[in-house]
Amino acid sequence: MALKLETINIPHLPASLPVHVALYRNVQNSAFLRQQLLAGNSEFEYALIDASMVLSRAHALAAVFRAVNDYMNNRLKSRNVHSEIVFSFNPTNNIAESFRKFGIADSTKDLLVVKVSVTPEITHDSVAAHLESSIEGTSVPFDDLTLSEISDITKIKKLYKLGALPSPAAKADPSQPNGTHTDDAQRQLELSMLGAIALRGS
Residues in contact with other proteins by the rule CB under 8 A: 10-15, 57-58, 61-62, 65-66, 69, 72-73, 75, 162, 165, 188, 191-192, 194-196, 198-199, 202
Q: Measured from the CB atom, is 69 or 148 closer to other proteins?
A: 69
Q: Measured from the CB atom, is 175 or 202 closer to other proteins?
A: 202
Nearest to 35 by CA among 98, 97, 106, 87: 106
What residues contact residue 182 under an 8 Å CB cut-off, 6+ apart?
168, 169, 173, 176
Planar angle of CA 175, 189, 51, nearest 5 degrees: 95
State the minimum distance, in angstroms, from the CB of residue 190 to other proteins.
9
State the minimum distance, in angstroms, from the CB of residue 39 to other proteins.
32
Q: Measured from the CB atom, is 34 or 57 closer to other proteins?
A: 57
Q: Measured from the CB atom, is 69 or 92 closer to other proteins?
A: 69
Q: For the purposes of burial, counting CB atoms within 10 Å of the CB of 177, is it exposed (0-12), middle (13-18) or buried (19 or more)?
A: exposed
State the minimum distance, in angstroms, from the CB of residue 202 to other proteins.
5
How far, in Å, are 15, 40, 92, 122 from residue 117 at the CA level?
A: 10, 18, 27, 5
State the minimum distance, in angstroms, from the CB of residue 34 to other proteins.
28
